[in-house]
Chain A
């Protein structure tokens, strides 16, 4: 292997990449603009959804309303509840979403109440209704408030202070640090993005440098030169890795600045990070060490994926064919990663850090929350280095097979 020739091949592929608008697009432009736009957009959207639900008015209809005029008029005074009348059977009206909820009042309601016997009201809801998630809590609160007025009246008759009703209550205080809180939300989305760009960032270069050479019939001239196969493969491999790494760095930085300047609350309010329920803007922070681990492990991921992409696309005769091989491969890689990424409350053990790519996801999460261990980093790094080396050797073997390289 001749290192100078590796650089010659690398430089040629980089120049080719930079001159191609498609590769430039997937390497820089997409991670730079699309991802921040998506994140901010998604954050705003979920915020909007939550707000919309909270401010939405729930409609209620009664069956046998005449038996409980007090209750009905109380509910009419409640905020964000609107009592309406429906025709036909109440259950059917709820099922048809003509009303969000239906309450059935039993006969002799007033008398039972006066007797101080407990009363059960039947509440019809429709779980596929768009307001279904807010109906029970909204009505629960209203009924509780109504109960409070009933009890207050009863206590007044007996001349008892209503404060005896209050026993023990809960006041929540979250002990998670700001880093943990922002890390929790980030830990969900940033690792996925790093993996995604590690794969897709170099994809065009990988295809262009292998299947592209076949499609444009330049590969035979390349094979005619006295350059060793490993030299050609390494040059191309470094070019693929360079473009992928550029997009990883671009995407990490653009996300970093997006969050720094748009406020990281997009991860802590709303539904994305329901674990940390307190919302509002919090100081977004990422230490230099965290960034170093993200980029370092990101680089190892890039090396692994670049070799895989290159070895897959050399099998294809054309750009199109290569894409049709890479798409399923992409799914096979990304699926277990997405699953591990979303497993709730996953307890990590050392062996998980020996699973290539998945280990990076788990490590990213730990590092972002600030609870990582050295052994996890070591096992992850060692695994990724070994896998990348194996992948490069395999790729070289592919390039040495004449029926692969000269297939026509």
Chain B
């Protein structure tokens, strides 16, 4: 019963084909509130495509996926209201200030003005953006842009947040901010799906992970069971063992 209440993302046999190429092939996993779930795999594995299909930016070819009880095939508007995505490429409207960027997205999520104001203040404090939030975002450093993009992805306070390769191209300090933010979201009872190809980063943060290789889930479970099952001592070795097993099977 408790487990059921915590379940927010239920992916069953999710499949996405581009013409004749199957980018995501019968992917199945579940993620819960109050955890950081690792969606792992090398470049080109199908992580971004999986996220795009779940967030209904791309249409689904086959399979069944529920976001907080809403079907991604039929209730796209409800699904979109309930999730946020930090995309790999973080573009911002460069002729707008950080605040104006956030205000625009809040309006697109139909948030009332007062709530928007409070939410921006909250996120700005949380992400340490007060100093530059009213400056033109075209002049931001990579780290500042990343913070703005994070704030934008959760402006509507969703319960499910995807972070797609959020530390790529960031320096150590900026990467730490991202990691801390993910942990903070988890503490707040949100479900964070952390998509990355850097397995040792995921090992530190995630209890549950799904490992994708060429669109197929080759491993799914807690980090501990994956390591035990493959008789390895870290996630990277576990991944290699799983891929090899997949190739033999």
Contact = CB atoms under 8 A, between A and B. Distances in A.
Contacts of B109: 225-226
24 contacts: A8-B104, A8-B107, A9-B108, A12-B104, A15-B95, A15-B100, A19-B95, A213-B91, A216-B91, A216-B94, A217-B87, A217-B89, A218-B91, A220-B85, A220-B87, A220-B89, A221-B105, A221-B149, A221-B152, A224-B85, A226-B80, A227-B108, A403-B18, A406-B52
Interface residues of B, number: 31
Interface of B: 18, 52, 55, 57-59, 76-77, 80-81, 84-85, 87, 89-96, 100, 104-105, 107-110, 149, 152-153
A220 B52 CA distance: 9
B81 A226 contact: yes
A13 to B, nearest CB: 10
Contacts of B107: 5, 8
Contact of A406 (B57, B84, B149): B57
A47 B77 CA distance: 65
Contacts of A223: 57
Given A218-B92, A218-B93, 18 more contacts: A8-B104, A8-B107, A8-B108, A12-B104, A15-B100, A16-B93, A216-B91, A216-B93, A220-B52, A220-B87, A220-B89, A221-B91, A224-B55, A224-B80, A224-B87, A225-B105, A225-B108, A406-B58
Interface of A: 2, 5, 8-9, 12, 15-16, 19-20, 213, 216-228, 402-403, 406
B57 A16 contact: no
A227 B80 CA distance: 9
Contacts of B58: 402, 406
A50 B128 CA distance: 72
B94 to A, nearest CB: 7
A5 B110 contact: yes
3 closest Cβ pairs, A-B complex: A217-B91, A217-B89, A226-B80
A216 B145 CA distance: 12
A338 to B, nearest CB: 36
A225 B92 contact: no
Contacts of B93: 12, 16, 216, 218
A15 B87 CA distance: 25
B91 A225 contact: no
A222 B92 contact: no
A51 B74 CA distance: 75
Contacts of A227: 108
Among the interface residues B52, B76, B93, B95, which one has the most CB atoms of the partner chain A within 10 A?
B93
Nearest to A19: B95
Contacts of B77: 226, 228
Contacts of B100: 15
Contacts of A219: 91
Nearest to B82: A226
A403 B57 CA distance: 11
Nearest to B92: A218
A9 B55 CA distance: 21
Nearest to A408: B89
B37 to A, nearest CB: 19
